[in-house]
Structure 1
């Protein structure tokens, strides 16, 4: 199972809940779509034996430390990766979303920034914005559990 997270914005209470989800749901990969804000949240989501992929968001001010403390696993987006045989595009701001969606090149497209939950399928692409994990803007903190085998997405409130 994969965990897709975005817009954590230093909410430490929610980060502790996300850490519990990682342990409870047997997560094999975590994808963070930006707006970590500060590096002190990273130990809650970067775990031994679990893959981690991240992109910077527009509110990430400590980019150097975020990069260092993630061992270079947080990069500028859009970022294209392959995980478990699935081609993924991940980004923070959805500037490339429409082109990526129309291209049909990706099994999954993950993004954040809007703080709005998005889950749809276009062709073979599963498009997911998990909403905001912080809950600061909308009052609703959410993450997405994604099954890479069948593309099933479960939006989970935390």
Structure 2
């Protein structure tokens, strides 16, 4: 299965649309969002995709975010998500605290750890854990990007949002 990975959209609606186009064109089976949607209006465009996510440190109205997730049949797990996909145990944590991120990666409990927060692309193995940060979908002053994870090969592809 191909999983779409996204983080740090920060209310950038046009980049969100570009990211969702990538996910739909590539027919991802699941989208994992590592937080910092910021506003609840960022959730409805995910409708029709299998979305699971966590909160980031800049997410505002969490009650309304939860409601918007529920409206489209998606799952928001609070600050931490553990899920299993095709035999892989995947953790999703925004990455607000570097010590927690490192502990999750070094624990040996997860095959994959998806993070955000730093706005920098990461694809590295730490112990047995593949650590992935798709970069920032917002882009800020740098490159806007998402990532794709193939659950069979554990290969990661970064896609720049042009």
Shared fold per TM-score greater than 0.5? yes
Name the counterpart of 2:82.
80
Name the counterpart of 2:58.
59
Alpha-carbon RMSD across the aligned residues, in angstroms, is 1.4
For the residues of structure 1 that align with 2:6 and 2:42, how far apart are their CA atoms? 12
Measured after TM superposition, the shift of residue 58 of structure 1 is 0.8
User: Helix, strand or coil: the match of 2:43?
Assistant: helix
Gaps of 5+ in 1: none
Gaps of 5+ in 2: none
Give the aligned length.
Answer: 155
For the residues of structure 1 that align with 2:159 and 2:129, how far apart are their CA atoms? 21
Name the counterpart of 1:22.
23
Measured after TM superposition, the shift of residue 94 of structure 1 is 4.8
Name the counterpart of 2:154.
151
Name the counterpart of 1:97.
101
Name the counterpart of 1:134.
138
Q: Is the contact between residue 4 and residue 149 of structure 2 (CA under 8 Å) also seen in structure 1?
A: yes
For the residues of structure 2 that align with 1:115 and 1:90, how far apart are their CA atoms? 15
Equivalent residue runs for 1:28-67 within 5 Å = 28-47=29-48, 50-67=49-66
For the residues of structure 1 that align with 2:75 and 2:133, how far apart are their CA atoms? 20
Q: Is the contact between residue 67 and residue 75 of structure 1 (CA under 8 Å) also seen in structure 2?
A: no
For the residues of structure 2 that align with 1:65 and 1:4, how far apart are their CA atoms? 22
Match of 1:109 among 109, 113, 138: 113
Moved over 3 A (4+): none
Q: Is the contact between residue 18 and residue 45 of structure 1 (CA under 8 Å) also seen in structure 2?
A: no
Instruction: Tell me the TM-score normalised to structure 1 length.
Output: 0.91
For the residues of structure 2 that align with 1:111 and 1:30, how far apart are their CA atoms? 13
Q: Is the contact between residue 57 and residue 96 of structure 2 (CA under 8 Å) also seen in structure 1?
A: no
